[in-house]
Amino acid sequence: MALAGNIKEFGLADIFQIVSLQQKTGELIVKGSEGSVTVVFEKGMIVGADASFRQVENRLGQVLVRSGRVTKFQLKRALDRQRKTLQPLGTVLAELGEINPETLRHALSQQTHETVYHLLRWTDGEYQFLPKRSVEYDKNLVTPINAEFLIMEGFRITDEWPEIEKKIPSFQVVVRRVPRAHVPDRETDPTASEAQVELSEGEKKIYGLLDSEKTIQDLIDISQLGEFETCQNVYGLMSKGLVEKAPEGEAKKKPAETPIPYKSLIDKFYLPLGLLLLGLVLWAWIQFGPKDFLSLYPMRSAGLQLLKEESAKSWLGKTKEILTAYYVEHKRYPQSLEELVTGGFILERDLYDPWNQKYSLITGEKGILLASSGPDGQWKTEDDIVTTPLIGALLF
């Protein structure tokens, strides 16, 4: 069956899942009212994404200049050379030595993430997957992205965004540090609570950038944390009483507010989908009675469950390698996964599995095990996901 049709009939998440599981190579082209988006896959991994309305190279140059990674003169020189060589902007910048390759690699990956997240909010449009023997991209600058992880991250963003949006309705909101507020320190203020003292690395970075008033868009570009993580950290600082919106009179001097895309993802996708599912349930009840109507949804539910299970297995496998790296550096395994966060090996959000339960690090007679309690959230049941043991003495 050709992979082509309308996303009303077959959702983008399902398309990404098929391409990923079948390890296909080629281009997924989606055309909608906003324009077109092309997502490039190699063996099921995403290696690029661009949009007619959000061209990665234009956005990349803007972000690199605003974040201070390159100067306007350096960008102009790179663009002049690009017009002559027709090479991607990132490749030109790297060859000219204008930017650290790792910084550029991160920026390119972030632009791909943001483009795909924007695409996932579309509810109408035509798609077509064009299989290819190979696709071209700069392997020195582009790190392939696991499509399943990207979809799961999209789900997480959609779930968490409504709460953040209550305080940050647009990217043009102007924020600043709360006057006379300070970050509490246990040494100088023993009465400070742990919640007050403990700021995440992202929150520390955003707070440090707010030496003057800035829009959310300014912080997104300068911090290079991405749209969602920037807003999430600003929300956290607001909740801790360290950051606030600028007074209304000053905020009005800023450009007109632009709606944040994640709101429309919820309004345009989940509300119609919920109504559609409700209609299907009522129709099934009438047609088949209470014993049969639940059989309408299992295929979709099973597909999502399988996606979550594969995501958890992939994370456990990756973290098992991280444990080995930790062992090499410290000559011991960590006593908890939180030590990996403290050491900068993983992010705090990585502690949770796709069912929002904490992964476990188990020390037993056979060695170190990594595990997820699985869909039911209960240990020692059939759906537990457990790695093979790691034993330091056998590794080194």
Instruction: Tell me the pLDDT tens digit for each residue of 74-122.
Output: 777 777 787 777 777 777 777 777 677 787 788 788 888 888 888 887 8
pLDDT band at 333 (very low <50, low <70, confident <90, very high): confident
Pairing mode of beta strands 26-32, 126-131: antiparallel
HSE at residue 78, side-chain half, CA atoms within 13 A, is: 26
The backbone torsions φ and ψ at residue 365, rounded to the nearest 5 degrees and listed phi first, read: -65, -30
pLDDT band at 55 (very low <50, low <70, confident <90, very high): low
Both tokens of residue 186? 């246990």
pLDDT band at 287 (very low <50, low <70, confident <90, very high): low
Distance CA 323, CA 128 (A): 41
The burial class, CB within 10 Å (0-12 / 13-18 / 19+), for 47 is buried
**Residue 258, CA distances (Å) to 160, 171, 269, 377 in order:** 20, 6, 20, 40
Distance CA 283, CA 99 (A): 59
Residue 27 is predicted with a pLDDT of 93
Q: What is the pTM of this model?
A: 0.52
What tens digit of pLDDT does each residue of 131-186 get?
999 998 888 888 899 888 888 887 787 778 788 888 998 888 999 999 887 776 55
Distance CA 126, CA 34 (A): 12
Sign of the CA dihedral running 113, 118, 120, 125: negative
Both tokens of residue 17? 């899942």
Distance CA 124, CA 6 (A): 7
**Residue 207 in contact with residue 242, Cβ under 8 Å?**
yes
Residue 172 is predicted with a pLDDT of 87
Any idea which of 79-88, 118-127, 332-341 has the lowest mean pLDDT? 79-88
Query: What is the DSSP track for 278-342?
Result: HHHHHHHHHHH-TTTGGGGSHHHHHHHHHHHHHHHHHHHHHHHHHHHHHHHHHSS--SSTHHHHH
Distance CA 135, CA 150 (A): 20
Smallest Cα–Cα separation from 7: which of 245, 229, 220, 273?
A: 273
Residue labelled with tokens 């059989």 = 295
CA 376 to mean position of chain CA atoms: 25
Residue 253 is predicted with a pLDDT of 47
Q: In what order do the strands lie in the sheet with 243-245?
A: 214-215, 174-177, 243-245
Residue 184 is predicted with a pLDDT of 62
Q: For 4-30, what is the mean pLDDT?
A: 87
The backbone torsions φ and ψ at residue 4, rounded to the nearest 5 degrees and listed phi first, read: -155, 150
What tens digit of pLDDT does each residue of 238-252 get?
988 899 998 875 544
Rg of the Cα atoms in the chain:
23
